[in-house]
Chains A and B, each alone.
Chain A
């Protein structure tokens, strides 16, 4: 997002750890029955993954110091869409539902008082709101339904510009045309009950969206005037909390320059109006001091050797290596933190041919790419598109992925590649045409190394390439995310889910009907035939491609199990069509001081959850 991409770019930046991996044993990964790599096989014990973390029995009190190399981007719950922002936002705000740290697949009520009631064939979702949950200072009154309603409605206000509103809240009746005013599909039947009327049977999916920060109540009378500014001043200068913590503020709710100094520091203190009996979170800590900036190599050492500290963003590669070797119990590498794949353009050039795509998949040395990122301690071989921790992962093939010959050799298999090149019409087993592939990758170690491996693989298949490396954000916004640029190969793309539902993973990235002229995230132009005319394509009506049709079917599936199966089927179709080449499922490395009982949100890329962690010496 703005960018969870950023986290994706940094995650697993542990190339020096790869040297450890390489030095400790052979590179021979075990091969499962399907032929794909299974678990760690280099003689290294895997890093702790956070799955056994204890959530109860903590000690109350103390001040945690957090080192953030990067600054926050948005602290307004209506705007926040970055993993570091989420850490502060979920500690200070209360959406209707949240995921407990250990469970990425089942929401629990937060501002809601109980589970949602999905009725009317999945078209209506009713949520009861906890009574007597008060806003923090300076508002100091109880939250009501209209506060939740306004919080969601303002997401469509261009002055707020919530990034995921169009993807998830356009399912509300009137949501797709909303601009910040009342949305007919949101109805307050009482001060403590809110009803969502959807345009179709999307209830199961929509409940997941109610775990996002946009559903966190905001005091309408306080925020609405601020939302008239371009952009809104809420979250930039003023904030009001509902969660256990609040940004240190003055009596008017101003936190800028007091509890948050951009690029320097932030201070979270207890929200005096928070009532523990209304919240599932224990909130052990008294205060959280966030230090922003600094060199990752320095702050990593400060955390590993210090007290009461954690590092918030991805540690430097040398630090992960140091932690793994000398501070093993202070390192966690949380799986299910994103996936990475090589985007291949289905609309232009040689990769319009399915056999060419399969040949490239077969030839690509995905093991080498994983090693460039730090090896199996911090990465898992990517074999399909729904990654661990997401619903449908096992049904889609689990760790080994679908049993197809082009997926069965993680180190690359040139004879299988040659077979598919011949099937594509190149009798020599290599490309003999004159087309020059445009390959645009990302600068910075180790992304540039991964891109180079992709480029070498293409050349080994006989392709001529025009290979360019640019800054990651430029790669997305100027090249791979702009269809008219006709980039043939994007080696460094990937995605992070918004919650466990695979729709949040596959729909934005592979649906032809979601293709847009800028900021496009269907980098391979999969199902470009369904690219809407209104967005610059040619599609107006008629049958969708089989993949898009399967997505539409999955989208309207009701019930978690049905949805998981339906999206797993989509995943298998994507692999069957070799629409892109998955090569890594990310694990997010995190480090903490030895006296911190760090709690990682398995649902949020393993980020720290301030509302659950505690200090051992408090």
Chain B
């Protein structure tokens, strides 16, 4: 198993370098804006622009810039400095990561807490009113864009601009850190958590339902019942354990992607997380930040894949580490 993890980690590093290289290439191929021109402003002379280019290292060949970046990243985990604020990308990301972590894990807890029971009940009570209404509701949430849903709940329930104000549902921009005020942190994230979780809960419920229906038709389930096991043991121990493996795959990737930033949710609720940092950087052509957030997302995705693969083997005895 150790060899397997080491091998996967090494491949992860190769993948990471490839991602960084592709981002670099894309940045230079796509007709984006020269950051030196943006920084220099509208009246600036070619001389000023070229001097700013030199200061930012933009006058060097792409491969040199790439090498310098890679060297700093590997040796010092230095992700560079924002073209605009001049702030260290590493410190900016460290500053934003807690908000994204808070948002992600709260939402994950909610969507698993809602999606898994709903999926199981729908599969067990197939074609019942409960199943149909649950899947109908799920379809609505699957179809609802997060951005729209976010605006909707704010306009309906937020304590400041809501039509039906709920005092503890603070509006957009109310996020505070967990250590500043745990209660306010919790209250400020309630709406974002539910909005972010809504779509995923619906998807997970539908996914688990379909998977569990298939599993419950398998021979070994009939055998378990024939052995006289209680129904809840048959469902939970034999059915769900097997049916849940596709969810684990999706969950790993979902968490990793959200760690790279839930851009829309963070923007609507004005949560200063990684997603909004990335969005702002893209609109400004602030390449060091874009690169930094991509590296972060790639690291999370690679790690999530490894964790998922390990979890797979635990959940499904047919899977072996090779």
**Chain A partners chain B:** yes
Interface membership of A233, Cβ < 8 A: yes
Asked whether, in the complex, the Cβ of A302 is within 8 Å of the Cβ of B160, the reply is yes
Asked whether, in the complex, the Cβ of B270 is within 8 Å of the Cβ of A298, the reply is yes
Asked whether, in the complex, the Cβ of B276 is within 8 Å of the Cβ of A306, the reply is no
A163 to B45, CA, bound (A): 8
- Stretch from B16-24, B84-92, B245-253 forming part of the interface with A: B84-92
Chain B 46-68 near chain A by CB (<8 Å), digits 1 or 0: 11110110111000000000000
A540 to chain B, nearest CB (A): 18
Interface membership of A159, Cβ < 8 A: yes
Chain A neighbourhood of B161, CB < 8 A: 298, 301-302, 305-306
Chain B neighbourhood of A233, CB < 8 A: 86
User: Which of B208-249 touch A at CB < 8 Å?
Assistant: none
- Stretch from A55-63, A260-268, A397-405 forming part of the interface with B: A260-268
Interface membership of A331, Cβ < 8 A: no
Asked whether, in the complex, the Cβ of B44 is within 8 Å of the Cβ of A166, the reply is yes
Q: Contacts A262-B92, A295-B267, A299-B270; is A166 near B43 (CB within 8 Å)?
A: yes
Chain A neighbourhood of B173, CB < 8 A: 67, 291, 293-294, 299, 302
B40 to chain A, nearest CB (A): 6
The bracket for how many chain A residues form the interface is 35 or more
A3 to B33, CA, bound (A): 13
Asked whether, in the complex, the Cβ of B34 is within 8 Å of the Cβ of A263, the reply is no
A2 to B151, CA, bound (A): 30
Interface membership of A422, Cβ < 8 A: no
Asked whether, in the complex, the Cβ of B40 is within 8 Å of the Cβ of A161, the reply is yes
A157 to chain B, nearest CB (A): 9
Interface membership of B3, Cβ < 8 A: no
Chain B neighbourhood of A4, CB < 8 A: 42
Interface membership of B41, Cβ < 8 A: yes
| Interface of chain A, main secondary structure | loop
User: Which of A296-310 touch B at CB < 8 Å?
Assistant: 297-299, 301-302, 305-306
Interface membership of B317, Cβ < 8 A: no
Q: B41 contacts which of A81, A291, A516, A517 (Cβ < 8 Å)?
A: A81
Chain B neighbourhood of A291, CB < 8 A: 173, 270
B150 to chain A, nearest CB (A): 8
Asked whether, in the complex, the Cβ of B160 is within 8 Å of the Cβ of A305, the reply is yes
Interface membership of A182, Cβ < 8 A: no
Asked whether, in the complex, the Cβ of A473 is within 8 Å of the Cβ of B285, the reply is yes
Chain B 109-135 near chain A by CB (<8 Å), digits 1 or 0: 000000000000000000000000000
Chain A neighbourhood of B154, CB < 8 A: 298
Nearest-neighbor residue (CB-CB) of A481 within chain B: B37
Interface membership of B316, Cβ < 8 A: no
Chain B neighbourhood of A302, CB < 8 A: 160-161, 171-173
Q: A519 contacts which of B42, B84, B85, B86 (Cβ < 8 Å)?
A: B42
Asked whether, in the complex, the Cβ of B42 is within 8 Å of the Cβ of A5, the reply is yes
Q: Contacts A2-B40, A291-B270, A297-B151; is A535 near B82 (CB within 8 Å)?
A: no
User: Which of B95-115 touch A at CB < 8 Å?
Assistant: 95-96
Nearest-neighbor residue (CB-CB) of A82 within chain B: B41
Chain B neighbourhood of A158, CB < 8 A: 48, 51-52, 54-55
Interface membership of A470, Cβ < 8 A: yes
Asked whether, in the complex, the Cβ of B38 is within 8 Å of the Cβ of A2, the reply is yes
Q: Contacts A236-B87, A256-B87, A478-B33; is A299 near B172 (CB within 8 Å)?
A: yes
B156 to chain A, nearest CB (A): 12
Chain B neighbourhood of A74, CB < 8 A: 84
Interface membership of B260, Cβ < 8 A: no
Interface membership of A518, Cβ < 8 A: yes
Chain A 1-17 near chain B by CB (<8 Å), digits 1 or 0: 11111000000000000
User: Which of A42-74 touch B at CB < 8 Å?
Assistant: 67, 71-74
A551 to chain B, nearest CB (A): 16
Chain A neighbourhood of B44, CB < 8 A: 161, 163-164, 166, 519
Interface membership of A477, Cβ < 8 A: yes
Asked whether, in the complex, the Cβ of B45 is within 8 Å of the Cβ of A516, the reply is yes
Interface membership of B203, Cβ < 8 A: no
Asked whether, in the complex, the Cβ of B51 is within 8 Å of the Cβ of A161, the reply is yes
A477 to B31, CA, bound (A): 10
Q: Contacts A302-B160, A519-B40; is A161 near B52 (CB within 8 Å)?
A: yes
Q: B160 contacts which of A263, A306, A478, A535 (Cβ < 8 Å)?
A: A306
Chain B neighbourhood of A264, CB < 8 A: 95, 272
A63 to B51, CA, bound (A): 41
Asked whether, in the complex, the Cβ of A293 is within 8 Å of the Cβ of B55, the reply is no
Interface membership of B280, Cβ < 8 A: yes
Nearest-neighbor residue (CB-CB) of A234 within chain B: B86
Asked whether, in the complex, the Cβ of B46 is within 8 Å of the Cβ of A519, the reply is yes
A518 to B58, CA, bound (A): 15
User: Which of A457-485 touch B at CB < 8 Å?
Assistant: 470-471, 473-474, 477-478, 481
Chain B neighbourhood of A257, CB < 8 A: 91, 95
Chain B neighbourhood of A470, CB < 8 A: 31
A471 to B244, CA, bound (A): 44
Interface membership of B39, Cβ < 8 A: yes
A508 to B37, CA, bound (A): 16
B51 to chain A, nearest CB (A): 3
Contacts from B to A (Cβ < 8 Å): 31-34, 37-49, 51-52, 54-56, 82, 84-87, 91-92, 95-96, 151, 154-155, 160-161, 171-173, 267-268, 270, 272, 276-277, 280, 285
- A163-B42, A470-B31 known, 19 other contacts, Cβ within 8 Å: A2-B38, A71-B85, A71-B280, A81-B41, A158-B54, A163-B43, A236-B87, A261-B272, A262-B84, A263-B277, A291-B173, A291-B270, A294-B172, A295-B151, A302-B173, A473-B38, A508-B42, A516-B45, A521-B42
* 27 pairs, A vs B, C-beta closer than 8 Å: A1-B41, A71-B280, A81-B42, A158-B48, A158-B52, A164-B41, A165-B48, A167-B43, A231-B86, A233-B86, A256-B87, A263-B92, A263-B96, A297-B151, A298-B151, A298-B154, A298-B172, A299-B173, A301-B155, A302-B161, A302-B173, A470-B31, A471-B33, A477-B34, A508-B42, A516-B46, A519-B37
| 7 residue pairs, one from A and one from B, having the closest CB atoms | A163-B41, A236-B86, A158-B51, A294-B270, A262-B85, A301-B161, A230-B55
Contacts from A to B (Cβ < 8 Å): 1-5, 67, 71-74, 81, 158-159, 161, 163-167, 230-231, 233, 236-237, 256-257, 261-264, 291, 293-295, 297-299, 301-302, 305-306, 470-471, 473-474, 477-478, 481, 508, 516-519, 521, 535
